[in-house]
Amino acid sequence: MTTGALTAGRTRFRLPRKQIPVLATLALLLVMYGIGVSQYTAFSNVQVIFNVFIDNGFLLVVAVGMTFVILTGGIDLSVGSVVAMTAMVSAALLKDGMPAALVLVIALLIGPTLGLLMGCVIHFFEIQPFIVTLAGMFFARGMCTFISGASIPITDGFWTAMSQERIGNPRGNFVSISVLIAFVVVVIAAYVLAYTRLGRNVYAIGGNPQSALLMGLPVGRTRIAVYTISGLCSAIGGILLSFYTLSGAPLIAVGMELDVIAAVVIGGTVLTGGAGYVFGTVLGVLVLGVIQTLITFDGSLNSWWTKIVIGGLLFAFILLQRLIGIRYK
Amino acid sequence: MNDTLSRYRTMTGHRLFWPAAVLFVMLAANTIYRPGFLSIELKDGHLYGTPIDILRLSAPLILVALGMTLVISTGGIDLSVGSLCAISGAIACMYISKQPDQSSLGVVVTALAMAMGVSLVLGAWNGVLVAVIGIQPIIATLILMVAGRGLAQLITEGQIITINSEPYRAIGLGHALTLPLAIFIALAAALLVAAFTRRTALGMIIESVGGNSVASRLAGIRSGRVIFLAYVISAACAAVAGFMMTANVSSADGNAAGLWVELDAILAVVIGGTSLAGGRFFLSGTIIGALIIQTLTTTVYAMDISPQTSLLFKAVVVIAVCLIQAPAFRARFSRRRRNVPPPAPVADKPKEQVPA
C-alpha cells in the first residue's frame, strides 16, 4: 500500500508485463507436468489430463465466475456454499419426483437470484462485499442443512445419464459432459470479458471505480451483474458437482471459495481488480488439479501437503506480481 | 417532545446502541423462550449458568477479535487467525504429549512459550508481507490461512492429539474467583489492548495509519512498523485463543481447531462498528459483537437446531446489523419514514476499499 515509489520507475514495457503472470503460470504448469511425466510412467497417459478436467470441471466454472467479481475489485465468499446449496436443492427436488428439466431451471435460478440480492446490497447500501458475501455464505450453507441434515442420493435418469456419459475416442480416453459444459462456460466468459461492453466495464471499474463513474459507465449495474454472474457460475458448478457425485450433501464444497480464490490469483488476476484473464484462471485451476494429481501419484505424501504447496505457490505468484509491479496499489 | 426526540436520536446514534440493542433483544428472547436462561447458581464455589457459559465460550472469540480489530483498523484484514489457533494449539499439545510428566507446570509453560514463539514468527511473516513487501492484506494472510491449516496437520501428523495435563486444561476450564479463568484471560487481554491503544498515542497512530498510511508516513509516523505490529499482536491473540480452544477439549485437531473463527472474528469487529475500510476502531463494540455471536450460537444449540442451520440465523443477524449501521441504508430508511429531506451529503466521501 505504501509502495507508490517502488513501482513508479517501472512503468515502461507495461503491455508485455501484463502477460507475465499468465505466462509464468503456464510455465509452472508445463514444468509440473514434465516432473510428473519424468517420475511416473502412467502420468504421460492423456487420460491423466482429461481426469484433471473431469475432477475440476465444477471448480473451473466457479472460478470463471469469481474472475468477474475479482476483476471489479470485489470478492465473493459465498461460492462454495451456493455450489452446495444448488446440488442440495436439485437432489431434494429430484427425490420428490419433480421432472429433471424443471429441477434444472429452478436450481439454475437460485444462485443468480442470491447473487443479484448480494450485488444489490453491496451497491445500494455500500456494505463491503466481504461481509455481504460472507452473510450469503452463511445463508446458503444454513439452507443446505435446513433442507436435509444428511446426504441425498440422486437416482434420476437424466442425472445418471449425464454422469455416466463418456465422450471419447476408440482408444478409451474420454471426458465427461461436465467438461464440455465447463469449456462452453469458459469460452462464453472469455468472449464476454474481451469483446463486449459489459466486459470492458468490468475492467474499467476494477481499474478505478471513480473514473469509471465519471466516464459515465454504469458502475452500479455492472457491479450487480458480476455478482449475479458469479451466482450463475456457482449454480452451474453446483449442477456439475451433482452430476459428478450424484448426490447432494450439506457439507460438500466447504472451503471451496479458498481454492477458487487461489486458482484465480495463481492464474494472474490481481485482487485489486482491473487486470487478469479467464485463460489465466483456467491455468490456475489446472495447476491446482495437477498438484493434487501429483500428490495422489506419489502416494507417500499426505493430503495436507496439498495445502502447504498451494500456500507456497500463492506466495510465489503474489511475489512475482509484486516484483513486476503490475497494478498494485 | 422535541427534547425526547433529540435524546432518542443521540441514543440511537451512539455507535454501541444497535449492537447492544441486538444483544439485549437476543437475551430477552431467550429468557422468554426459556425462563431459566438467566439463572446462575453457585456449585462447589464455582458459578454455573448459561450466561457464564456464553462468557466462557466467547473468550477465544473475543481474543481473536481484539487482534482483528487492530488489524482491520490499520485498513488490513487477517484471515490467518484460524490457522494460527490450530498451529499454536497443535504445537503446545504436541510438546506436552511427548513429556513424561504432562501435569508439570514447567512443561506447560515451556509448551506455551514455544507455541507463542512460533505464532509470533508467523505473525511477523504476515506483517512483513503486508508492511514491507506491500502485498494486499487479504491475500498475504490467505497464504498462511491455506498453508497454516496444512502446517497444523503436519505438526499433529493428521491425528487428533489428546493430552492429560491439568495446568493446560485450566486455561480453558479452570476457575478463579468463582468465574471461569478464560473470562479473566480475555478480560485481561482486552484491558491490556485498551490501555495500550487508548491511554497512549498508539491507538491514534493506528487509526491514522488506517485512515491514510501514506499521509501518516509523511506526518512522521512509521506506518510500516505500526502495520507490522498489528499483525504480530493479532497472531499473539490468536495463539492464546488457540490454547483455550485446545484446552477446552484437552486435544488438538489440526483440521478442526479454530475453523472459521476468522470469519466470526471479522463479523464481531464489523458488528461492533469498526469499518472494514480502516481508520477507526471500537474495542468495546468488538467485545459486544463477539458476545452477540456466541449468544446466537448458544441460543441455537439450546433450541435444538443443528449447528449448521444456525448459520441461517447468523446470516440474518449479520445482514441486519450491517444494514442498520450502513449510512446509506439509514439515509434511505429515515427519508422514507419521516418524509423529511435527506441530510446534506456527508463531507467525508467513502474511502476506496482496498482489502475486500
Instruction: Break chain B down into helix, strand, coil percent, rounded to 5.
Output: 70, 5, 25
At CB < 8 A and 24+ separation, what contacts does A103-111 make?
A: A103/A156, A104/A239, A107/A235, A107/A238, A107/A239, A108/A232, A108/A235, A108/A236, A108/A239, A109/A235, A110/A82, A110/A85, A110/A86, A110/A235, A111/A82, A111/A85, A111/A86, A111/A231, A111/A232, A111/A233, A111/A234, A111/A235, A111/A236, A111/A238
CA distance B143 to chain A (A): 5
Of the partner residues A142, A305, A312, the one whose CB lies closest to the CB of residue B308? A142
Task: Retrieve residue B140's grid coordinates.
Answer: 498475504
Average pLDDT over residues A297-318: 82
If you measure CA to CA, which chain B residue comes closest to A129? B356
- In this prediction, residue A192 carries a pLDDT of 95
- B327 pLDDT more than 80: no
Q: Is the dihedral of CA B263, B264, B265, B269 positive or negative?
A: positive
Select the more confidently predicted residue: A8 or A26: A26
- Neighbouring C-beta atoms of residue B16, cutoff 10 Å: 14
CA distance A263 to chain B (A): 12
pTM of the model: 0.83
Closest by alpha carbon to A205, among A299, A6, A71?
Answer: A71
Of the partner residues B134, B276, B350, the one whose CB lies closest to the CB of residue A1? B134
Residue of B68, B132, B142, B261 for testing the chain A interface, max A β-carbons within 10 Å: B142
Region of poorest pLDDT, from A2-6, A49-53, B78-82, B173-177: A2-6
- In this prediction, residue A190 carries a pLDDT of 94
Select the more confidently predicted residue: B11 or A13: B11
CA distance A80 to chain B (A): 14
Instruction: Identify which of A62-66, B134-138, B304-308, B343-347 has the greatest average pLDDT.
Output: A62-66
- In this prediction, residue B19 carries a pLDDT of 83
Region of poorest pLDDT, from A12-16, B203-207, B217-221: A12-16
Cα A127 from Cα B326, distance rounded (Å) = 7
- Mean pLDDT over all residues of chain B? 84
Residue of B77, B136, B227, B264 for testing the chain A interface, max A β-carbons within 10 Å: B136
Of the partner residues B315, B322, B350, the one whose CB lies closest to the CB of residue A139? B315
Percentage of chain B modeled with pLDDT above 90: 30
CA distance B42 to chain A (A): 37
Residues in chain B within 8 Å Cβ distance of A209: 352
Residues in chain A within 8 Å Cβ distance of B266: 130-131, 134
Percentage of chain A modeled with pLDDT above 90: 39
Phi, psi of B143 (to 5 degrees): -55, -50
Task: Retrieve residue A261's grid coordinates.
Answer: 480464490
Cα A290 from Cα A269, distance rounded (Å) = 20
Closest by alpha carbon to B246, among B132, B86, B110, B96?
Answer: B86
**Which pLDDT band, with edges at 50, 70 and 90, does B139 fall under?**
confident
Contact A117, A104 (CB under 8 A): no
- In this prediction, residue B287 carries a pLDDT of 94
Residues in chain B within 8 Å Cβ distance of A302: 153-154, 158
Region of poorest pLDDT, from A63-72, A232-241, B46-55: B46-55
**Which pLDDT band, with edges at 50, 70 and 90, does A147 fall under?**
confident
Residue with cell 478464560: B182
pLDDT tens digits for range B22-66: 889 888 888 888 887 777 877 777 788 888 888 888 999 999 999
Cα B169 from Cα B327, distance rounded (Å) = 45
CA distance A127 to chain B (A): 7
Average pLDDT over residues A113-126: 92
Phi, psi of B274 (to 5 degrees): -75, 130
Average pLDDT over residues A2-20: 53
Cα B119 from Cα B90, distance rounded (Å) = 11
- In this prediction, residue B70 carries a pLDDT of 94
AA identity, residue A263: A
CA distance A180 to chain B (A): 30
Percentage of chain B modeled with pLDDT above 70: 92
Residues in chain B within 8 Å Cβ distance of A120: none
A315 touches chain B (CB under 8 A): yes
**Which pLDDT band, with edges at 50, 70 and 90, does A326 fall under?**
low
- B88 pLDDT more than 70: yes
Cα B73 from Cα B204, distance rounded (Å) = 10
**Which pLDDT band, with edges at 50, 70 and 90, does B336 fall under?**
low
AA identity, residue B52: I
Residue with cell 517501472: A10
Average pLDDT over residues B192-218: 90
**Which pLDDT band, with edges at 50, 70 and 90, does B1 fall under?**
low
Average pLDDT over residues A149-159: 86
Cα B85 from Cα B92, distance rounded (Å) = 11
Closest by alpha carbon to A142, among B264, B320, B310?
Answer: B310
Q: Contact B318/A138, CB-based, under 8 Å?
A: yes
**Which pLDDT band, with edges at 50, 70 and 90, does B15 fall under?**
confident
Select the more confidently predicted residue: B216 or A9: B216
Average pLDDT over residues A55-77: 93
- B17 pLDDT more than 80: yes
CA distance A45 to chain B (A): 30
* Residue B304, C-beta contacts closer than 8 angstroms, at least 6 positions apart: none
Q: Contact B308/A210, CB-based, under 8 Å?
A: no
pLDDT tens digits for range A256-305: 888 899 899 888 888 778 888 899 999 999 999 998 888 888 877 777 88
Per-residue DSSP letter, B108: H
* Residue B73, C-beta contacts closer than 8 angstroms, at least 6 positions apart: B206, B207, B210, B230, B274, B278, B279, B280, B281
- In this prediction, residue A16 carries a pLDDT of 64
Q: Contact B326/A328, CB-based, under 8 Å?
A: no
Cα B146 from Cα A312, distance rounded (Å) = 9
pLDDT tens digits for range A99-111: 889 999 999 999 9
Cα A38 from Cα A32, distance rounded (Å) = 10
Residue of B146, B208, B269 for testing the chain A interface, max A β-carbons within 10 Å: B146
Cα A24 from Cα B166, distance rounded (Å) = 52
Give the bridge partners for B253, in sequence order: B160
Of the partner residues B136, B143, B148, the one whose CB lies closest to the CB of residue A271? B136
Residue of A70, A260, A307 for testing the chain B interface, max B β-carbons within 10 Å: A307
Q: Between A and B, how many CB-CB pairs are < 8 A?
A: 167
Q: Contact B326/A305, CB-based, under 8 Å?
A: no
- A235 pLDDT more than 90: yes
- In this prediction, residue B334 carries a pLDDT of 67
Distances (CA, A) of B154 to A288, A303, B148, B261, B303: 20, 10, 9, 20, 37
Of the partner residues A73, A125, A145, the one whose CB lies closest to the CB of residue B308? A145
Residue of B309, B316, B354 for testing the chain A interface, max A β-carbons within 10 Å: B309
A264 touches chain B (CB under 8 A): no
- Quick one: how far is CA A39 from the chain centroid? 30
Phi, psi of B263 (to 5 degrees): -70, -45
- A251 pLDDT more than 50: yes
Instruction: Identify which of A11-15, A205-209, B239-243 has the greatest average pLDDT.
Output: B239-243
- In this prediction, residue A2 carries a pLDDT of 45
Closest by alpha carbon to A194, among A260, A73, A278, A261?
Answer: A278
Three-class SS of chain A: CCCHHHHHCCCCCHHHHHHHHHHHHHHHHHHHHHHHHHHCHHHHCHHHHHHHHHHHHHHHHHHHHHHHHHHCCCCCCCHHHHHHHHHHHHHHHHHCCCCHHHHHHHHHHHHHHHHHHHHHHHHHCCCCHHHHHHHHHHHHHHHHHHHCCCCEECCCHHHHHHHHCEEECCCCCEEEHHHHHHHHHHHHHHHHHHHCHHHHHHHHHHHCHHHHHHCCCCHHHHHHHHHHHHHHHHHHHHHHHHHHHCEECCCCCCCHHHHHHHHHHHCCCCCCCCCCCHHHHHHHHHHHHHHHHHHHHHCCCCCHHHHHHHHHHHHHHHHHHHHHCCCCC
pLDDT tens digits for range B146-186: 889 889 989 988 888 888 888 888 888 888 778 888 899 99
Residues in chain A within 8 Å Cβ distance of B352: 209-210
Task: Retrieve residue A135's grid coordinates.
Answer: 452473510
Q: Contact A131/B306, CB-based, under 8 Å?
A: no
